[in-house]
Structure 1
Amino acid sequence: MASPHITLVVGGTSGIGLATARRLAAAGGTVHVASRDAAKVAALASSAPELVAHQLDGADGAAVAELAAALAPIDALVVTIASSAGMGLLAELDPASLRRGFDEKVIAMLTVLQASVPHLRPQGSITLVGAISAHAAMPGTAGIGAVNAAVESLVRPLAVELAPRRINAVSPGLVDTPWWSGMPDQARADYFASAAAKLPVRHVSSADEIAEAVALLATNTSMTGTIVPVDGGARLVQL
C-alpha cells in the first residue's frame, strides 16, 4: 500500500485516528493530524515524531479551511471525529444529549468537509468513520445509532457530487479505544469479555484493525461510495 503524499487526519491524536495516521505514515508520505485536545497534540511530538500535529477544533470551519489551505493540495482526508452523546433507552433519552451528538459528530464532519474539499486534489480521497450502531439492533443505541447513520448517509450522494474525488466510510463495532474511558476499568473489562464471547470473531477489535480498513479506503483508487463494516460480526448477533 502506497501512502498518499499529503494526508490530513482530523481527530487523529488517539484511537482509530492515531492508528490510521501511523499506518499511513509508515507507508510513506507526510501525515498531518489535528485535534482540539492541546495535551494530546503536545504529546505526539515525543510519542509519534513521524506525524505533524496541529491543534484544531473540527467545528471551526474557518480554522479548518486555513489549515487545509496551508497543506494543499491534500491527497487524502480522514475524519474520525467521535461523540458518545445520544446513548440511552428511548424512555430515558435526553434530547439535549442527542442534539449534542449530532453537533459533535455529524455537523462537525460536515464542517470539516466543506472547509477541506476545496483544498483536496481532484483525484483525492475522503474517508469517514461511523459506527455499527447505525446498522445493529442494540437496545439503548437508537439515538447514537441515528447520529452514525447520518454520518454514513453522507457517503453515497457525496461520492457522486464530489467525483472524481472518492469518499468512503468505515463502520466499526466494539473497539478498544479511549472512547470507552468513561466506563470504570473493571466494568469495561467485564463488558468486553462478555461481548467477545458472543462476537463471531471472539474478540473486541483493536484500533489498528479498524485503521487497516481506513487506510485501504484512503488509498484504493477504485473504491468510492462504499461503507465497510469492520465489526467482528457485531451486526449479526445480540450483544
Structure 2
Amino acid sequence: MSTTTSTTSTTDTSPDLPLAGQRAVVMGGSSGIGEATAALFAADGAEVVVTGRDREKLEAAARRIGGRTTAYRLDGTDPAGIDAFFARSGPVDHLVLALSGAAGAGPFAELDLAELETGFAAKFWPYVRILQAALPRLRADGSVTLVTAASARAAFPGTAGLAAINGALEAMVPPLAVELAPLRINAVSPGVVETPWWDAVPAEQREALFEGFAKSSPVGRIGRPGDIARALHLLATNGFVTGVVLDCTGGANLPTGR
C-alpha cells in the first residue's frame, strides 16, 4: 500500500514566485528527470509531491529538492495504491508522469513477448491508470505532462518494443488534449539522457555508448536531467500549449547530424 514518508521544511512562499499557491505532483520523482523537474517547480514556489517506490531515495530526493516538498511512497503499478493516493491528495494543479521502464527492448526476432508485456505494465498502463484516477483532483485548466521517449518515433534496431510502449502514449496526447480540455495534455520525448535508467549497463560500456551518442548529436553531447526538466516545466506552465509532443533529443532525431 502507499504510505506518506516525509516532508521537508517550508521555504519562501512569496506570491512573487510564479507557482506560489499551486500544487504539483511528480510521479517518479526520486531521481533523474523526475527529481530535476520537481526541483524546478519547488524553486518557483509550488508545493510539490514526489512519488516513487523506494522510501530512502524519496526522502533523500525531498531533502535535495527543498521547498515545500512531500515524499510519498507509491508503486505506479499498484492500482489500489494509486486510487488511495488521489483519494487523499487534495487539488492538483500540475501532474508530471515520469515513471520509467526498460523492459521490452531487444531484437524483434528474439523479442520476449512476456518482457514486452512487462514493459507495457511498467509504463503504459500506469500512465493511463494514474491519469484516470487523477482527473477528479486536477484543476480544470491545469496540466498533465508525460515523459515518453524518442524511441517512439526513431528507427533504431532493437527498440521496436520500446517504440510500441512510448508510441502508444504519444498517440494519446492530441485526442486527450481535445477530450479533456481545458485541461492541458502534453508530453516530452527525451533522447539519451544520463540518468539512473542506464545504471544496469556496465560502466565502460555505458561510457562508450554515451560517447557514441554524443558524437552523433548535433549539440555534441547527451542529455542531462535538467534539460528534460526545463522542457517539462515549460509545457506545464505555458497555458497556451496543449496536445504537443516535444522532442528533447539534442537533435539526435533529425534526418542529418554531424
TM-score by length of 1: 0.95
**2:195 counterpart of 1:188:** no
Counterpart for residue 252 of structure 2? 234
- Residues 15-94 of structure 1: pairs in structure 2 closer than 5 A: 15-50=32-67, 51-94=69-112
Q: Residue by residue, what CA displacement relative to the aligned partner does 1:83-133 show, whole Å, maximum 9, x if unpaired?
A: 001110112211011000011000011111111111101111000000000
Asked whether the 8 Å contact 2:19–2:44 carries over to 1, the reply is yes
- Residues 1-239 of structure 1: pairs in structure 2 closer than 5 A: 2-3=18-19, 5-50=22-67, 51-236=69-254
In terms of Rg, which structure is larger? Answer: 2
Following TM superposition, by how much is the alpha carbon of 1:3 offset from its aligned partner in structure 2, in angstroms?
A: 2.6
Work out the number of aligned pairs and report it.
239
- Greater shift in the superposed pair: 89-98 or 60-69: 60-69
Q: Residue by residue, what CA displacement relative to the aligned partner does 1:160-209 show, whole Å, maximum 9, x if unpaired?
A: 11111000000000000000000011111111011101111110010100
| SS of match in other structure, 2:187 | strand
Letter paired with 1:3: L
Following TM superposition, by how much is the alpha carbon of 1:219 offset from its aligned partner in structure 2, in angstroms?
A: 0.6
Gap runs ≥5 in structure 1: none
Asked whether the 8 Å contact 1:199–1:237 carries over to 2, the reply is no
| SS of match in other structure, 1:236 | coil
Following TM superposition, by how much is the alpha carbon of 1:25 offset from its aligned partner in structure 2, in angstroms?
A: 0.6
| SS of match in other structure, 1:149 | helix
Gap runs ≥5 in structure 2: 1-16
| SS of match in other structure, 1:170 | strand
Mapped to 1, the partners of 2:171 and 2:100 lie a distance apart of 16
Following TM superposition, by how much is the alpha carbon of 1:36 offset from its aligned partner in structure 2, in angstroms?
A: 1.4
Letter paired with 1:87: A
| SS of match in other structure, 2:133 | helix
Letter paired with 1:192: F
Following TM superposition, by how much is the alpha carbon of 1:237 offset from its aligned partner in structure 2, in angstroms?
A: 5.4
Following TM superposition, by how much is the alpha carbon of 1:49 offset from its aligned partner in structure 2, in angstroms?
A: 3.5
| SS of match in other structure, 1:42 | helix
- Greater shift in the superposed pair: 127-136 or 68-77: 68-77
| SS of match in other structure, 1:186 | helix
Mapped to 1, the partners of 2:228 and 2:163 lie a distance apart of 19
Asked whether the 8 Å contact 1:132–1:234 carries over to 2, the reply is no
Which one has more relative contact order, counting CA pairs under 8 Å at least 6 apart?
A: 1
Mapped to 1, the partners of 2:234 and 2:62 lie a distance apart of 26
